[in-house]
Each structure stands twice: as structure tokens, then as C-alpha cells.
Amino acid sequence: MRNRITRYEVALSRGTDSYLVAYTPRKSRAGLLDALRSRAERIVEITGSETFGIQDARTLTLDDGWVVRFTGRTQIDAQDHGELTFVMDPINEDEQQERDLAERRAAYVGR
């Protein structure tokens, strides 16, 4: 086994939806912010949120219950036990239809 830098998994999640944002060697607020910045456009596309709040050193909160946080897994753990869907992968039609329906329901309930 070669010596490698340990990289920590950063995920975007809400409920049962989870996406891999990045693997970062820095398990700190700075590492989390760098991961968020590197995928910002896609995260806005998925969540609809352009602002975030800092919940703690390892969690950022976005609108509608979305969070960006360290999962507690390393890159090697994730590869061994199943990686999350990469946030930059295209969303398939079924997922998009489910999201649209959920948004319409939430808007209707919120009336």
C-alpha cells in the first residue's frame, strides 16, 4: 500500500437525498468551504439556495433543509462501502420529475 494523504468525504444531503461534493484533505471549516466553493454552481442548481449558514465547524446549512457536511468517512471507506452519487453527475429524468412534484406539493401545502 502506498502512502497517501487521507481525504475526507463532504456530502450535500437532505432527508434521504445525498450527493458527494468532494473529498478534501482538510477536515476543517476551511476544507468544507473550499469543497462548497468548488461545486457552488451545481449545488445552487440542485438546492435552489444561493446562501448558506455555518452551523458548526463541520456543517453548513442551506435553505429547505439541505446541509453540506463531513460524513465521517474517508475516501477509502467510501470506495470500499459504496460511494455517493457525485454532485456533478447529471440528474436523470425520473429524479427531476420527483423533485418537481415534491416542490409543487410543498408549495401547495404552504398556501
DSSP code of 2? Answer: -
Which pLDDT tens digit goes with each residue over 45-94?
888 888 888 888 889 999 888 999 999 999 999 989 998 888 887 666 66
- pLDDT on residue 16: 87
Residue 54 carries which side chain, given as an amino acid letter?
A: I
CA dist., res. 35 & res. 42, Å (int) = 12
110 pLDDT higher than 70 = no
Asked whether residue 27 carries a pLDDT value surpassing 60, the answer given is yes
pLDDT tens profile 33-52: 999 899 998 899 888 888 88
What gap in Å lies between CA 109 and CA 111, rounded to an integer? 6
pLDDT band at 109 (very low <50, low <70, confident <90, very high): low
Q: Where are the domains of the chain?
A: 8-109
Q: What is the pLDDT of residue 89?
A: 73
pLDDT at 96 over 70: no
Quote the pLDDT of residue 63.
83
Question: Mind giving me the DSSP string for 13-38?
Answer: EETTEEEEEEEES--SHHHHHHHHHH
